[in-house]
Amino acid sequence: MKNFIFFIVIFVTVIKLSSCFPEPLKIDLPVYEPKLVVASQFSEDSGVYITLTRSFSALTDNYKPEKINIDFINKVFSSNSLVIIEHSGVNDTLQNIAPGIYYNANIPVIDNEVYGMYIYDTLIDNSVTSQATVLPSVIFDTVFVNISENQNDTSAVVHYTFTDLSGYNYYMINYYRENKDSSNQSIYNINPNDPLFQELADTLGYFDFFRLLQLVSSIGTDVESTILINEEDIESNIYSGTVEFYNISMHDTLVISISNISESYYNYLEYKEKSGSLYSQLLGEPINLPSNIDTGYGLFTAHKQYFKKLHLSDY
């Protein structure tokens, strides 16, 4: 009898509490207008790359991170835009070579030269502009690798040094590995309808589109990390550092690069690192990423990268 009365009390309590909840309110969200998101890469040897996506709303675009399909990719990657780089009074048009990737191999990259960018996306009727100055190159003075092998793992430590340029500078170190088994697969040989691209998009899950662009620009490359360095990190004229790779194969090629970057790009990368993945951005504290794109997002930078490749089969 006591148990019966107890359940009756619980039942009545639940009914009363449920009646206290207000009716759900219908909220009419304004129509989201996508904007262009820009990233860039300058190379003395191979010209200028621009990666171009469109912003989207996680609330109004039926975004489901567990399933990124071809329609969503075509909606986000801008592949029908006019992309122009202006330099020394000359306008050069970049060609679309892959989903969201534009390229021109014939643009000269000159230190301290100002480059202008104009992009127009016909699908969303959005145009953006920006400017950036090419900073002097920085190169590694020394790069060497120490390899450690045991029964469970093979790891490598890459040691590097570089000479600090005059003035207050900001540097970016990127390092990653190239896998021999997949090095022949390139984004430049596929399109959004290719099953390989579909498989890549389906398996990413929660992702950040800038990182997605890093991945699809070189399928077969495993991006390890980015290190940011400023003058406060440099105690003498020569900077020394190390990066570590784990679970490597002696058929791998390790790649390390260095760039002299602008303060605005340095700050952008710092804020981007704090914002984390797209999942973190949706659930965490909002962070506004800095941008130099007029009426758009992202950052147009003219930094160059100096690469050093280490073929482990040579060691």
The domains of the chain, with CATH numbers, are: 140-262+306-314 (2.60.40)
Query: Tens digit of pLDDT for each residue in 111-157?
Result: 999 999 999 999 999 999 999 999 999 999 999 999 998 878 889 99
How is residue 133 written in tokens? Answer: 């100055």
Q: Distance between CA 72 and CA 115 in Å, rounded?
A: 32
* pTM confidence score: 0.72
Q: Reply yes or no on whether the pLDDT at 21 is more than 60.
A: no
Q: What DSSP line would sit under 22-49, residue for residue? A: PPPPP--PPPP---EEEEEEEETTTEEE
The CA-atom distances, in angstroms, between 18 and each of 21, 23, 26, 216, 293 are 6, 11, 19, 50, 50
Query: Tens digit of pLDDT for each residue in 41-88?
Result: 888 777 898 989 888 776 655 555 545 566 777 788 888 899 999 999
Reduce the DSSP state of residue 18 to 3 states and report it.
helix
Angle CA 115–176–240, to nearest 5: 80
